[in-house]
């Protein structure tokens, strides 16, 4: 019972705790992922809004205004310049020999060698004196061009660039921008901090006319307001070797009017650092598999994948296994990034793009089972959604750990309860076992058994009650045994043991035939006359005295008392114990009765006489009247013994002829008369 109740209680409590704990941990894991996603969303929004404010402030800066006017004027002057043939050739060689081959290798696309040569004279001039001087097209080459503002050609443009170029250089180096462009009102890129292929190009008619930068420029200029800030989505910026770039464009000028536009190129790291926490995923609660990334309306990533950063060799196979086209996965691994490469599909993106936020579980681009938290990024000009994901196995690892701990704890509790129950069961059942053993002993007849009282509890009370019961049974059994012994003694006084045994066994008719038995029938003469002068108590007392004397005489003579009557006594010899001298014993017993009576008369001054008859022969003994027990003796010998004692009215001991014949040598007889036995006379003799 203790084990059952304890186990059921432990199971119920464990189940309730398990369900509640599991649900709480499950919800906590999802809430944590949602919190991280919301934090990243907020940080991204703040960062983009901050760069927009910075762009707006910088476009209003007096240096920017002065530089715009000076460079615009210098660029216009260059429209009338003719580029020398050698410089023209050097410019063509730059694209044909260095830039276009590097671009094609990087992007895998095909470009014409003259595709990026500006159509305007001013454009070709400044590219020849700036862009074409980048001989390496690597980081060192671009860093060198960042510090080169004087074209060395003595033009107004070079003078203005040398004077104001440091302002743009500091924007790039201090703010971490990828590039800063200055455009005039006709779409010409009149300045670039890194002096790349976009320098001198026209966004309205040049090779970059279909770019997002061109669209943003036209939108910003169309407002004719310095308060305008236009931000673009990522695009593959060809002048940067196809690297995804996004732009912030703001008109340059003041309340009197605008002179151009400032275009800030945001690097990939700007977005990636915010979304990855500067690659600090694990330290910011995303474990070993979690990440937060951006997805555009086209279903492509707008930030880098953690898998590409941490496991570039495994990324391709893992991404392909979960639905990414092999070409896209391979390309992402090659360039070490997933922006505008890695496609993202599924319910999370669809719901987020419809403006919903929430969480779900399912497969994603890198895992078969992930927990995903999704929501839109509310920033003007961008149609992005924020996705936070983590492998389900890791997200719910605390749940699994909790489940394991609960199960282990529950099993431990169950084992402890089982062991405790076994121990307590031994303690509880020990007194019961003692009682059971004692009860068996009582059932086997051992009423002397006692059990230790034990503790002062129900078992102790039960033990005490059992001891009291055993003592009571022992006393009652003793009384019963004493009563049984008394009954046996009384029964044996009423009948022979053989008859008593048959009676106890329930026999209805109990008789026994005996062939050689001597019978003595004695009666008192004159006792009735004597008793009239006595009280009832005195009469019974004197009669008992005589009967005890007769019993003692029977015992001495070896005869058996058959029954006692008021004033009479019937005995036999050889009835119960066969004796060859039963006749002699019977005669001696009769003579002993006379002696007993003589002593009684002498003691009490009475004159009571004795008349006894003795015969021998076949008799029958048995119980008469079952409801009122009476052991009796009958037969010819009994009948003759009764009759011979009455052959004369005088006291004396009278015997039959056969008795006289068998004891004539021992006892002296005199003839007393005759009785009729079966139609003929038989002599009766009297002891002299």
DSSP string, 477-499: HHHHHHHHHHHHHHHHHHS-HHH
Q: Is the pLDDT of residue 206 over 70?
A: yes
DSSP-H helix ranges across 282-396: 306-310, 312-321, 326-335, 347-353, 392-395
Domains annotated on the chain, with CATH: 21-46+271-395 (3.30.450.20), 61-266 (3.30.450.20), 495-687 (3.30.70.1230)
Structural contact between residues 194 and 137, judged by C-beta atoms closer than 8 angstroms: no
pLDDT at 120 over 60: yes
Q: What value does the mean pLDDT of the chain take? A: 87
Phi, psi of 160 (to 5 degrees): -65, -40
Tell me the pLDDT band of 494, cut-offs 50, 70 and 90: low
**Torsion from C-alpha of 409, 411, 413, 419, nearest 10 degrees:** -150
Cα radius of gyration (the chain): 70
Q: Closest Cα to residue 59, out of 226, 255, 217?
A: 226
Long-range contacts of 255-260 (CB under 8 A, 24+ apart): 255/226, 257/224, 258/185, 258/221, 258/224, 258/225, 258/226, 259/65, 259/68, 259/69, 259/72, 259/184, 259/185, 260/68, 260/72, 260/182, 260/183, 260/184, 260/185, 260/190
Q: Which residues, including other chains, have CB under 8 Å from residue 290's CB and lie 6 or more apart?
A: 33, 36, 281, 306, 388, 389, 390, 391, 394, 395
- Asked if residue 48 has pLDDT above 80, the reply is yes
pLDDT tier at 496, thresholds 50, 70, 90:
low
Question: 204 pLDDT exceeds 70?
Answer: yes
Amino acid 222: pLDDT: 96
* Phi and psi angles of residue 141, each rounded to the nearest 5 degrees, phi first: -65, -45
| Residue 625 pLDDT exceeds 60 | no
pLDDT of residue 638: 78
418/172: higher pLDDT? 172
The mean pLDDT of 138-157, rounded to a whole number, is 92
Tokens of 284: 């910011």
Q: Which residues contact 249 (CB under 8 A, 6 or more apart)?
A: 55, 213, 216, 217, 219, 220, 229, 230, 231, 232, 261, 262, 263, 264
Average pLDDT over residues 607-619: 88
Range scoring the smallest mean pLDDT among 367-376, 431-440, 531-540:
431-440
Q: What is the mean pLDDT of residues 260-274?
A: 94
- Per-residue pLDDT tens for 207-224? 999 999 999 999 999 999
Question: Quick one: what percent of the chain has pLDDT higher than 90?
Answer: 52
Higher per-residue pLDDT: 525 or 70: 70
* pLDDT score, position 264: 96
| pLDDT band, residue 437 (cuts 50/70/90) | confident
Q: Listing from the earlier edge strand, what are the strands of the sheet with 370-376?
A: 291-295, 385-391, 370-376, 358-362
* Size of the chain in residues: 688
> What does residue 243 show for φ and ψ, rounded to 5 degrees?
-70, 135
- Compute the average pLDDT of residues 317-321: 94
Q: Per-residue confidence at 43, pLDDT binned at 50, 70, 90?
A: very high
Q: How many CB atoms lie within 10 A of CB 135?
A: 10
């Amino acid at each position: 019972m203790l084990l059952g109740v304890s186990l059921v209680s432990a199971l119920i409590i464990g189940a309730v705790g398990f369900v509640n704990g599991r649900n709480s941990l499950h919800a906590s894991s999802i809430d944590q992922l949602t919190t991280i996603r919301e934090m990243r969303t907020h940080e991204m929004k703040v960062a983009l809004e901050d760069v927009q404010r910075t762009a707006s402030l910088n476009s209003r800066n007096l240096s920017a205004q002065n530089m715009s006017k000076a460079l615009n004027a210098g660029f216009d002057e260059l429209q009338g310049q003719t580029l020398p043939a050698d410089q023209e050739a050097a410019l063509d060689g730059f694209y044909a020999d260095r830039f276009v081959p590097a671009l094609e290798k990087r992007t895998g696309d095909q470009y014409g060698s003259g595709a990026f040569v500006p159509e305007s004279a001013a454009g070709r001039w400044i590219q020849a004196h700036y862009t074409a001087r980048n001989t390496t097209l690597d980081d060192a080459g671009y860093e060198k061009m960042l510090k080169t503002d004087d074209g060395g050609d003595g033009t107004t443009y070079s003078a203005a660039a040398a004077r104001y170029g440091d302002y743009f250089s500091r924007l790039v180096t201090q703010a971490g921008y990828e590039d800063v462009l200055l455009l005039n009102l006709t779409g010409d890129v009149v300045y670039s901090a890194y002096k790349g292929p976009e320098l001198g190009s026209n966004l309205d008619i040049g090779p970059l006319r279909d770019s997002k930068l061109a669209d943003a420029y036209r939108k910003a200029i169309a407002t004719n307001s310095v308060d305008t800030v236009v931000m673009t989505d990522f695009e593959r910026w060809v002048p940067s070797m196809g690297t995804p770039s996004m732009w912030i464009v703001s008109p340059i000028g003041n309340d009197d009017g605008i002179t151009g536009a400032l275009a800030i190129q945001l690097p990939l790291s700007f977005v990636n650092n915010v979304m990855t926490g500067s690659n600090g995923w694990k330290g910011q609660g995303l474990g070993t598999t979690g990440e937060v990334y951006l997805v555009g309306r086209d279903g492509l990533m707008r930030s880098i994948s953690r898998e590409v950063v941490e496991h570039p060799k495994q990324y391709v196979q893992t991404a392909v296994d979960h639905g990414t086209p092999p070409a896209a996965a391979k390309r992402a691994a090659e360039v070490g990034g997933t922006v505008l490469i890695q496609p993202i599909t599924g319910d999370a993106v669809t719901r987020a793009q419809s403006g919903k936020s929430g969480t779900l579980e399912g497969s994603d681009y890198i895992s078969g089972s992930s927990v995903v938290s999704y929501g839109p990024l509310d920033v003007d000009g961008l149609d992005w959604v924020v996705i936070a994901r983590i492998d389900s196995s890791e997200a719910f690892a605390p749940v699994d750990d909790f489940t394991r701990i609960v199960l282990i704890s529950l099993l431990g509790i169950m084992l402890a309860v089982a062991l405790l129950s076994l121990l307590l069961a031994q303690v509880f059942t020990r007194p019961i076992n003692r009682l059971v053993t004692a009860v068996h002993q009582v059932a086997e007849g051992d009423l002397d058994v006692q059990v230790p009282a034990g503790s002062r509890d129900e078992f102790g009370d039960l033990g005490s009650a059992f001891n009291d019961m055993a003592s009571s049974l022992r006393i009652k059994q003793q009384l019963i045994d004493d009563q049984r012994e008394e009954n046996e003694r009384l029964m044996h006084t009423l009948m022979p043991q053989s008859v008593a045994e048959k009676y106890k066994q329930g026999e209805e008719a109990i008789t026994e035939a005996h062939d050689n038995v001597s019978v003595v029938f004695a009666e008192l003469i004159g006792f009735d006359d004597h008793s009239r002068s006595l009280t009832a108590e005195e009469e019974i007392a004197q009669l008992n005295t005589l009967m005890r004397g007769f019993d003692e005489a029977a015992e001495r003579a070896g005869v058996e008392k058959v029954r006692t009557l008021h004033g009479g006594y019937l005995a036999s010899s050889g009835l119960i114990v066969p004796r060859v001298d039963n006749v002699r014993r019977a005669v001696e017993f009769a003579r002993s009765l006379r002696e007993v009576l003589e002593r009684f008369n002498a003691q009490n001054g009475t004159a009571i006489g004795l008349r006894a008859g003795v015969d021998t022969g076949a008799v029958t003994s048995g119980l008469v009247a079952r409801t009122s027990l009476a052991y009796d003796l009958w037969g010819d010998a009994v009948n003759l013994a009764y009759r011979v004692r009455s052959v004369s009215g005088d006291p004396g001991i009278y015997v039959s002829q056969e008795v006289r014949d068998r004891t004539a040598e021992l006892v002296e007889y005199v003839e007393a008369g005759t009785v009729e036995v079966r139609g003929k006379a038989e002599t009766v003799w009297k002891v002299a």
